[in-house]
Amino acid sequence: KQEVTQIPAALSVPEGENLVLNCSFTDSAIYNLQWFRQDPGKGLTSLLLIQSSQREQTSGRLNASLDKSSGRSTLYIAASQPGDSATYLCAYYSGAGSYQLTFGKGTKLSVIP
Amino acid sequence: EPEVTQTPSHQVTQMGQEVILRCVPISNHLYFYWYRQILGQKVEFLVSFYNNEISEKSEIFDDQFSVERPDGSNFTLKIRSTKLEDSAMYFCASSEEGRTEQYFGPGTRLTVT
């Protein structure tokens, strides 16, 4: 069974700090990978999709990278703000023709003013 | 900006009862999905739907579950006879094409008593 691991499970940083969230996966045939944020009791908001042919993707203060050979993706958040406080989830499509996203458990980020 | 909507936001039902969860995907999207998240656990894939048929389903999606696109806009998940362990947040998602960026709705919290 393919697994997605997100470390750390929780992270607390002061406002303004740059930070990196990690996602590792065991599936060597990973296709696209997507990062989401989830606010408490809410749905998932898509942040970035990295396609299988890409190594990174940027949106505003967010930058996500994908290294399929090492089984890792990182989400870099620049100049963190209290509004960034949420749980960040990574999820991927397997390359085996699957249409389902396989999720990690997430990293809960708290940005302290 | 187009978004996925879900109704109701919260449904309470008694064990053994049938429930129908409703979703309106983004209008030009062709692929539809249901996921669930039990409190404190990972988001789990249930089923994907394309061209009026199921394209993929997980082990969770047994005979008690069914999906339907009754008209051009709605996408429903039916649980025929609910069990206590069906209590979870159920998310609907849609994507323009297969294995591309998925957009999630706000979820329906199902509580089975």
Q: Would you say B91 and A43 are in contact if contact means Cβ atoms under 8 Å apart?
A: yes
Q: What are the chain B neighbours of A100 within 8 Å (beta carbons)? A: 33, 45, 48, 56, 58
pLDDT in tens, A76-86: 999 999 999 99
Task: Name residues of chain A where pLDDT drops below 70.
Answer: 1, 96
Q: Quote the pLDDT of residue A96.
A: 66
Q: What is the mean pLDDT of residues B70-76?
A: 90
Q: Quote the pLDDT of residue A97.
A: 76
The rounded percent of chain B whose pLDDT value lies above 70 is: 100
Q: Would you say B68 and B52 are in contact if contact means Cβ atoms under 8 Å apart?
A: no
pLDDT in tens, A36-51: 999 988 889 999 999 8
With CA atoms as reference, the chain A residue closest to B31 would be A99
pLDDT in tens, B22-67: 999 999 999 999 999 999 899 999 999 999 999 999 999 999 999 9
Q: Chain-centre distance of CA B10, in angstroms?
A: 13
Given A45, A46, A104, which is nearest B42 (Cβ)?
A104
Between chains, do B98 and A99 touch, taking CB under 8 Å as contact? Answer: yes
Q: What is the mean pLDDT of residues B79-107?
A: 94
| Separation CA A95–CA A28 (nearest Å) | 9
- Give residue A60's identity as a one-letter amino acid code: G
Given B43, B44, B103, which is nearest A46 (Cβ)?
B103
Run of H or E including A58:
strand A56-59
| Separation CA B47–CA B32 (nearest Å) | 8
Q: Quote the pLDDT of residue B1.
A: 79
Q: Would you say B86 and B58 are in contact if contact means Cβ atoms under 8 Å apart?
A: no
Given B98, B100, B104, which is nearest A44 (Cβ)?
B104
Per DSSP, the three-state class of A60 is coil
